[in-house]
Amino acid sequence: MLLGARDAPEPRAAEAPPLRLSKFHAPEIVFGPDSVQEAAHAAVRLGARRPFVVTDPGLLEAGWPSDLLTHLRATGLAPELWFDVTPNPKDHEIEAGFARYVEAGCDVVLGIGGGSVMDAAKGVALLAANGGRIHDYEGIDRIEHPIPPMIMLPSTSGTGADVSQFCIVTDTDRHTKMTIMGRALVPDVSVIDPRLLTTMPDDLNAATGLDALTHGIEAFVSLAHGPLTDHHALQAISLVHANLVRTMMRPNDAAARCAMAQAALEAGLAFTNAILGATHAMSHQAGGMLDLPHGVVNGVLLPHVIRFNGAAVPERFVPIAQAMGLSDVAGAPAEEAVERVAEEVRRLGDEVGVPKGLGDLGVTDADIPRLAHLTLSDACLTTNPRPASVAEVAALFRTAM
């Protein structure tokens, strides 16, 4: 049985929704403490000679990339290291990384870091096979040629970029984040070593844990959810709820770190296949405009979006409440589950230090019309369970201020 599993209700056969066509994308996954060296073996298997290792200055300081480089060299490979990536990776950084990849004659791409590093690695791989500018690929399935093999080693317990078909890049002209989506962006191998999580500072741990929770909740209520994604989504919700605070109280608690690594993984498997919703569509705009930590923006927005969506699909929030252990909603109307889940997400946010509103993060009322307008063209909005107009999105932003 998976770690921390809760008794999510089994749908009885008579209640199960009619099956419709579904696909499930996932990379090969290696999971467990001390698994970093497996990335070197995977690189050899994928035909690497000169692997391109993407990371950032924070990771270099934590020391994990040097472990990976040692293992790559020990298997006879000659890695090229590139680390000029900043959080919320920028279009021009990825273009510079691509130039470096070509110059060094690299083949396989490895990313060791958080979502920013992994998305930068995906961006470099995408350009390596398809050319042009990263902006050309914004939207769904615009990548034509097969891209070089990718191996990801996540260092935060949040984004799921190591298993997802997403690549999120900041457009520095428009001050927004572009969502690039497509099957080609699912990495070949995800190597998840929970030890990497132990060097995260508390605020990053909190933010990325809330990102994983948002992935679980948005995937579960998404229009594209299905039986193959639902259990991963509920499991992720349950694991974050039971373990995030524990990792903050006891940063070296190996079982809690493993549980959070599993939560991020399962949330990633759920959302890459069921896609996301309004929280992410809105958060990409605020995050891109002000270069804010993604998980923190999600943590602020999520309770408001839950209430908005709960008016359309209240019944979807009953299993979510159960996954969070909110036993008092048993037998109550579904609308109560919606409110309890929204309150519990906010309570968890308070406990881990999420600001009360977007105003605390620097968003102003004057920004809202532009943010709302941009939200409407984010690919994540297409699977939100309740259609949202510009006026409704603007109202949601105002409530979240």
What SS3 state is found at 48?
Answer: coil
Residue 119 or 230: which CB sits closer to ligand NAD? 119
Report which of 111, 30, 100 is spatially closest to residue 68, judged by C-alpha positions: 111
Q: Does residue 295 belong to the site contacting ligand NAD (CB under 6 A)?
A: yes
Residue type, 199: T
CA atoms of 261 and 238, how far apart (whole Å): 13
Q: Which stretch binds ligand NAD (CB under 6 A): 32-40, 57-65, 315-323, 382-390?
A: 57-65
User: Which residues between 255 and 294 bind ligand NAD (CB under 6 A)?
Assistant: 294
Position among 147, 167, 242, 296 found at the interface with ligand NAD (CB under 6 A): 167
CA 223 to chain centroid, in Å, comes to: 18
Q: What is the Cα gyration radius of the chain?
A: 20
Minimum CB separation of residue 288 from ligand NAD in Å reads 8
Binding mask 345-384 for ligand NAD (x = CB under 6 A): ----------------------------------------
CB 310 within 8 A of CB 338: yes
Nearer to Fe ion, 211 or 344 (CB): 211
Stretch that binds ligand NAD, among 27-35, 91-99, 203-211, 229-237 (CB under 6 A): 203-211
Residue 158 binds to ligand NAD (criterion: CB under 6 A): yes
Which of Fe ion, ligand NAD, none lies near 216, with the C-beta cut-off 5 to 8 A by kind?
A: none
Candidates 156, 222, 229, 384; binder of ligand NAD (CB under 6 A) is 156
Q: From 75-83, 208-216, 247-255, 317-325, give the range in contact with Fe ion by CB under 5 A.
A: 208-216
269 or 321: whose CB is closer to ligand NAD? 269
Do 237 and 326 form a contact (C-beta atoms < 8 A)? no
Could you say which residues in the range 181-200 bind Fe ion, by CB under 5 A?
none
* Distance set, CA 157 to CA 22, 62, 152, 170, 261 (Å): 27, 16, 13, 21, 5
Between 35 and 272, whose beta carbon lies closer to Fe ion?
272
Pairing of strands 109-113, 166-171: unpaired
Q: From residue 139, how far is each of 133, 329, 380 by CA, in Å? A: 14, 39, 10
